């Protein structure tokens, strides 16, 4: 029987959730025997194929991230919001207290390490910011929520194990980690 396919994307995020996935250690060998990892930040496939399970790390903060989230949703049967950024918006939402134009000005002009004497803010080269950073389920339907910053490796393994058994897991909220 063909192994179920999994694709994951890393959107407005720090990569910590994918690093936590690698923390499942040797159990990854067992998992690779059971699922086929396709497009992920680790495999670096350029196209998202049709998959059984899609995983989103990160919030949605710009038009490109919104597009990728919608594309993955349209190509997967089960969508997992993975980590606090995807589930709640996370640290990305700190910018929601000011207009997007001010955020760009801060990032491209005023940040101490920026050298931008003309004060030009790129608009064609980078995707347009959404008015606010939002959790994934504000844009697309999410089937499984895996909170935590990052989620514990054991929780990630539990989620995959449950899905492989044909169950949609519910992760208890007391597994969230902020240490």
- Site residues (CB under 6 A) for ligand SF4? 13-14, 16-17, 57-58, 83-85, 90-91, 149-150
Name the residue nearer to ligand SF4 (CB basis): 91 or 109: 91
* CA dist., res. 127 & res. 95, Å (int): 17
Residue 123 C-beta: closest distance to ligand SF4, Å = 26
Q: Which is nearer to ligand SF4, 19 or 32 (CB)?
A: 19
Closest distance of CB 80 from ligand SF4, Å: 13
Do 62 and 30 touch, CB atoms closer than 8 A? Answer: no
CB of 86 to ligand SF4, least distance (A): 7
How far from 80 is each of 9, 83, 104, 118, 143, CA to CA, in Å?
11, 9, 30, 42, 6
| Helices assigned H by DSSP within the chain | 16-22, 27-34, 63-75, 84-88, 100-105, 153-164
Of 68 and 109, which CB lies nearer to ligand SF4 in the complex structure?
68
Q: Closest CB to ligand SF4 belongs to which residue?
A: 16
- Which of 147, 169 has the CB closer to ligand SF4? 147
Rounded CA separation 99/44 (Å)? 33
């Amino acid at each position: 029987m063909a192994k179920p396919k999994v694709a994951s994307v890393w959107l407005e995020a720090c990569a910590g959730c994918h690093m936590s996935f690698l923390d499942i250690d040797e159990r990854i060998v067992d998992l690779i025997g059971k699922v086929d990892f396709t497009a992920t930040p680790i495999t670096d496939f350029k196209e998202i194929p049709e998959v059984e399970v899609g995983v989103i790390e990160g919030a949605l903060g710009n038009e490109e991230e919104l597009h990728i989230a919608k594309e993955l949703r349209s190509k997967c049967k089960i969508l997992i919001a993975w980590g606090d950024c995807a589930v709640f918006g996370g640290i990305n939402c700190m910018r929601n207290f000011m207009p997007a134009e001010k955020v760009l000005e801060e990032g491209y002009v005023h940040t101490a390490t920026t050298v931008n004497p003309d004060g030009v803010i790129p608009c064609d080269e980078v995707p347009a910011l959404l008015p606010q950073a939002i959790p994934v389920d504000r844009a697309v339907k999410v089937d499984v929520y895996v909170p935590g910053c990052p989620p514990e490796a054991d929780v990630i393994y539990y989620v995959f194990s449950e899905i492989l058994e044909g169950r949609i897991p519910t992760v208890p909220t007391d597994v969230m980690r902020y240490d």
